[in-house]
A and B are shown apart, each in its own frame.
Chain A
């Protein structure tokens, strides 16, 4: 993906080598489409950070080249040779002018860096929320994400859907970040920097993705045993897709077809076992809030916060023992018989 702001680079042709190297990094990635690289920004905050980072990279690259070059020269030029045997070199104790020079120059560099940095801090962090913005509440849990859309009355998990935001029809997403237990951090590199989800300490962040598609991320603050599998998927939808998705999510839980015995039995197992203590399926007695909302489970591509694709086999294995995918996940192994598990999976498969 070619970054939008790369044009500004042409002003700095001093160290094209450094920049070429940095831009070659995604080439290491075997599957660049799913690499959450900060070098492939797709949202205003990510673009602003990317532009700033290139500016800083040019300055620090220049400093590195000068000092490292000097050092390399010294190593070659002033290494001891056998010819100058026992003679000590001239002893120089210091020079006020020189010291002053290499104090003042760094001070100036810091001033420039700071002013540039401060500008972007305020631009991103204090951006006013436009009226057209979509509000989403993100709640971090060990080890999954809960997404609430207060305006639409939608509750879902692990896969965030947001509308694309274009210059002509801006619809940024403003997220309120909360935590139900320990610290987490919301990080989807292509859409913006990360912000932590801290209990008792609500945070906010915003994104305005410019291109539809799937963007990957994951929890970036160690939150316990399964921190590594607290994955995050953000689907950026076109306006039509998003409207359709909202409409589907707003439907109450579908009543299972009474003709299908397995589904009915599965529902019975679900509602008589401990499942209902933790999970919600709207329109049924299942009203637990400790685990992900399952009302529209089948609308999601993955289960277990992205740890496995959402297939009947995986659902079966997950219900039997969540430790198969995520040792340390807080859902207990349900101790159901194979048949009961099949029935529950059949029931879950109806939750579109």
Chain B
């Protein structure tokens, strides 16, 4: 019987200390249904793919460092930017999001696990195998005939470039199938998070006493359900076109290229919010703790989040200002896009107000979050510029757009992910990450980020389009591209410092104790790392900051909260 051969999957270190073999240890990770271990699996998997996607970005930057470079071929370059985009969005962004949601949501709402632990494990493995399927295209793209056959149609994969006529072989199939597979995993986790938050909260935790992190993850999961669905539908239609003689997107048989764009962006734009709302979620936890103040305007933060979710579903065609919509259509999507700025502005103001009058400790998590606020402000403002449809006719598909969305995806999301890693690593492993290495990581990454992505705005304004594997030397883009590439390598060094910090601190880091940051949410009341059952007794909460109430019995939050 399996139960006799292997111990009941439990804790990693306790298991080892009992003299468990490596095989048994491995088995415990493969069969686990514990939300914390699945959360760790998600995050480790995302970190691995972050490195892979980062290497792809470096290949892109080496190629573009000088004009007419021959570092990689046109074909390989196109594969690199396609895989970089697909990897970073689906295998890094989404997996980080659901990794943090998995690990933290049950702990924050005082639950012992997710609502559907087996669905949780299933979802993770679907996501994991989706990623492997995508990367198997490097060997399997043309059916084992050779290397160099990864998807090369851009991560947006506009029809009809993806049709059999223009994309022979199997690389586009790997792309579509991998996204279908990992998409089902994502849908499973989204359902799971919603069910957990709705039905597993501990006694006293009303919806309006949930930490903002939990609120935002609830909204993110709802948004995921809505947005992954059209993506999956579009992928299935694409496969039907390619193999069953369908003509959805086959323009040579009367299909529509524009319909693909609508399907892709009705997924693609809310997807940005699926990724950035978790970044907000992380900032909502870290900024108050390190400012030593309650979050300013909790109800406004919740309503702004819900508003963003709704408005984000009405803006998709701002990716399509140049495809020839009517002037009324263009005006509509310009307006709806500008409107996203209102709830987003409220959030930024609330973070600033939270910091106002606080006693701000600039530990590494807070450094990353502070940089996040300023960078997200910048990203929001360039977003406003792009929403101005006529200006978008110039900026669309130029490096200005690349700069804008990397400000969101790196400047906001990756910065918050790093903040979260520094903030919750002690809880997950029981060890602190090195502050010294953390500061090195932060400053190098911050400087590299700005060298790269600030410069990209300018080269875009000077007319450099995206997705080009080389450029002409007489366009005046040479110096700027070299600067961008140098910044990229500085970021790479910073990420290597993070990896070293993670490994070294896991083995030798200072012990963290339950609550190293003097924080206020329930996960910090458990031991680090938390036991498999999370809480020995079910917690009872009376306010949004249960640990504040415990630490300040004379001045508890529940007396003041509205």
B385 contacts which of A60, A120, A220 (Cβ < 8 Å)?
Answer: A60
Contact yes or no, B334 A118, CB < 8 A: yes
* A52→B355 CA distance, assembly (Å): 35
Indicate if the CB atoms of B166 and A181 lie closer than 8 Å.
yes
CB <8 Å contact, B355 and A78? yes
**How far apart sit A200 and B561, CA to CA, in the bound complex (Å)?**
59
**Is B404 close to A, CB under 8 A?**
no
A88 touching B292 in the complex, CB below 8 Å, given contacts A37-B461, A228-B468: yes
CB of A121 within 8 A of CB of B479, answer no
CB under 8 Å from chain B, chain A span 220-272 = 220-229, 231
User: What B residues does A63 contact at CB under 8 A?
Assistant: 381
In the complex, A199→B466 CA distance in Å?
Answer: 21
- State whether B463 touches A37 (Cβ < 8 A): yes
On whether the beta carbons of A35 and B397 are closer than 8 Å, the reply is no
List the A residue with the shortest CB-CB distance to B300.
A99
- In the complex, what residues of A have CB within 8 A of residue B397's CB? 185, 187, 194, 220-221
Residues of A within 8 A of B74 (CB): 225-226, 228, 327-328
Alpha-carbon gap, A34 to B552, bound state (A): 67
* Nearest-Cβ distance from residue A63 to partner chain B, whole angstroms: 6
B residues with CB within 8 A of A: 73-75, 78, 152-154, 158, 160-161, 166, 251-252, 254-258, 291-294, 296-300, 322-324, 327, 330-331, 334-335, 338-339, 341-342, 345-346, 348-350, 352-353, 355-362, 370, 373-374, 377-378, 381-382, 384-385, 387-398, 458, 461-463, 465-472, 474-480, 552, 555, 557, 560-562
Residues of B within 8 A of A225 (CB): 74-75, 78, 152
Given contacts A74-B355, A84-B359, A225-B78, 4 further A-B contacts (CB under 8 A): A93-B560, A193-B322, A194-B394, A200-B255
| Interfacial chain A residues near B461, Cβ < 8 Å | 22, 25, 37-39
A48 within 8 A of B: yes
Does any Cβ of B come within 8 Å of A170's Cβ? no
CB pair A196–B355 under 8 Å, yes or no, is: no
- State whether the Cβ of A57 lies closer than 8 Å to any Cβ in chain B: yes
How far apart sit A75 and B555, CA to CA, in the bound complex (Å)? 27
Interface: A14 (CB within 8 A)? no
A196:B322 contact, CB within 8 angstroms:
yes
Complex Cα spacing A102 to B154, Å: 39
B297 touching A94, Cβ below 8 Å? yes
Question: How many contacts A-B (CB < 8 Å)?
Answer: 299
Q: How far is A60 from B519 in the complex, measured between Cα atoms in Å?
A: 36
Q: State whether A93 and B158 are in contact (beta carbons under 8 Å apart), knowing that A35-B476, A56-B384, A199-B251 are contacts in the complex.
A: no
A153 at the interface (CB under 8 A from B): no
B560 contact set on A, CB distance < 8 A: 91, 93
Tell me which residues across on chain A come within 8 A of B255, comparing CB atoms.
200
Given contacts A35-B463, A78-B358, A227-B468, contact A327 B390 (CB under 8 A): no
- Across the interface, which residues of B come within 8 angstroms of A98, CB to CB? 353
A154 CB-CB contact with B under 8 Å: no
A11 on interface, CB distance cutoff 8 Å:
no
Known: A63-B381, A113-B384, A117-B390. Contact between A228 and B463, CB under 8 A?
no
A222 partner, pick from B158, B382, B392, beta carbons under 8 A: B158
Q: Return chain A residues, CB-CB under 8 Å to B153.
A: 222
The distance from the CB of A32 to the nearest CB of chain B, in whole angstroms, is 6
C-alpha spacing A200/B291, complex, angstroms: 57
Which chain A positions have C-beta within 8 A of B465?
Answer: 187, 218-220
For B78, the chain A residues whose CB sits under 8 A away are 222, 225, 227
A118 to B337 alpha-carbon distance, docked (Å)? 13
**Please, which residues of chain B bring their CB within 8 A of the CB of A223?**
161
Interchain CB contact (< 8 A) of A67 among B73, B377, B555:
B377
- Which residues 189-222 of A sit at the B interface, judged by CB distance below 8 A? 189, 192-196, 198-201, 203-204, 216-222
**B378, A64: Cβ atoms under 8 Å?**
yes
Residues of B within 8 A of A29 (CB): 462, 475-477
The 5 closest A-B pairs by CB, nearest first: A193-B393, A29-B476, A36-B463, A228-B468, A35-B476
Question: Which residues of A have CB within 8 Å of B324?
Answer: 177, 195-196, 198, 201, 203-204
- Interface presence of A182 (CB below 8 A): yes
- Determine the chain A residues whose CB is within 8 A of the CB of B160 once the complex forms: 181-183, 199
B331 engages A93 (CB within 8 Å): no
Q: Which residues on the A side are within 8 Å of B381 (C-beta)?
A: 60, 63-64
**Chain A residue at minimum C-beta to C-beta distance from B325:** A125
Give A141 Cβ to nearest chain B Cβ, in Å.
12
* Chain A interface residues (CB < 8 Å from chain B): 22, 25-26, 28-32, 34-39, 45-46, 48-49, 52-53, 56-57, 60, 63-64, 67-68, 70-71, 74-75, 78-80, 84, 87-95, 98-99, 102-103, 106-107, 110, 113-114, 117-118, 120-122, 124-126, 142, 177, 181-183, 185, 187, 189, 192-196, 198-201, 203-204, 216-229, 231, 306, 327-328
How long is the Cα–Cα vector from A113 to B378 in the complex, in angstroms? Answer: 17
The CA-CA distance from A93 to B561 in the complex, in Å, is: 7
A contact patch SS: mixed
Residue in chain A with minimal CB distance to B258: A201
Chain A contacts for B292, CB-based, 8 A = 80, 88-89
A80 touches B360 (CB 8 A): yes
Task: Please pick, from B152, B327, B339, B388, the residue contacting A52 in the complex, using a CB distance under 8 A.
Answer: B388
Closest chain B residue to A37, Cβ basis: B462
State how many angstroms separate the Cβ of B556 from the closest Cβ of chain A. Answer: 11
Query: B299 and A94: CB pair below 8 A?
Result: yes
Which residues from chain B contact A113 at a C-beta distance below 8 Å?
338, 384, 388
| B-chain residues with CB within 8 Å of residue A106 when the two chains form the complex | 341-342, 345-346
- Cβ A94 vs Cβ B384 within 8 A: no
Q: Which residues of B contact A221 (CB under 8 A)?
A: 158, 322, 397
State whether A92 touches B385 (Cβ < 8 A). no
Q: How many angstroms between the C-alpha atoms of A114 and B346 in the bound complex?
A: 19
CB distance from B78 to the nearest CB of A (A): 6
9 contacts between A and B (CB under 8 A): A26-B462, A34-B475, A78-B359, A80-B292, A89-B357, A117-B387, A121-B334, A124-B390, A204-B324
Check if B394 sits within 8 Å of A38, measured CB to CB: yes
| Docked pose: A341 CA to B330 CA in angstroms | 51
Task: Write out the residue numbers on chain A whose beta carbons fall within 8 Å of the beta carbon of B73.
Answer: 327
Contact of B356 with A74 in the complex, beta carbons under 8 Å: yes
Say whether A30 contacts B476, CB under 8 Å.
yes
Contact of A71 among B161, B293, B352 (CB under 8 A): B352
Q: Which of A26, A31, A35, A94 has the most chain B CB within a 10 Å cutoff?
A: A94
Chain B nearest CB, measured from A282 CB (Å): 27
Question: Do B474 and A31 have beta carbons less than 8 Å apart?
Answer: yes
Among residues of B, the one whose C-beta sits closest to the C-beta of A72 is B374
Nearest Cβ on chain B to A144's Cβ, whole angstroms: 15
Given A56-B388, A88-B292, A93-B298 in contact, is the A200-B254 Cβ separation under 8 Å? yes
Chain A residues within 8 Å of B322, by CB: 185, 193-196, 220-221
For the complex, what is the distance from the CA of A182 to the CA of B250, rounded to whole Å?
10
Contact partners of B360 in chain A: CB under 8 A: 74-75, 78-80
In the assembled complex, the Cα of A88 lies from the Cα of B358 at a distance in Å of 8
Of the candidates A49, A60, A84, A224, the one whose C-beta lies within 8 Å of that of B394 is A49
Q: Which residues of A contact B562 (CB under 8 A)?
A: 93-94
Contact B374 A34 (CB under 8 A): no
Closest chain A residue, CB of each to CB of B518: A88
Enumerate chain B residues within 8 angstroms of A38, measured Cβ to Cβ.
394-395, 461-463
CB distance from A115 to the nearest CB of B (A): 10
- Bound together, the chains give a CA A199 to CA B346 distance in angstroms of 42
Q: Are A117 and B389 in contact (CB under 8 A)?
A: yes
Residues of B within 8 A of A28 (CB): 458, 462, 476, 479-480
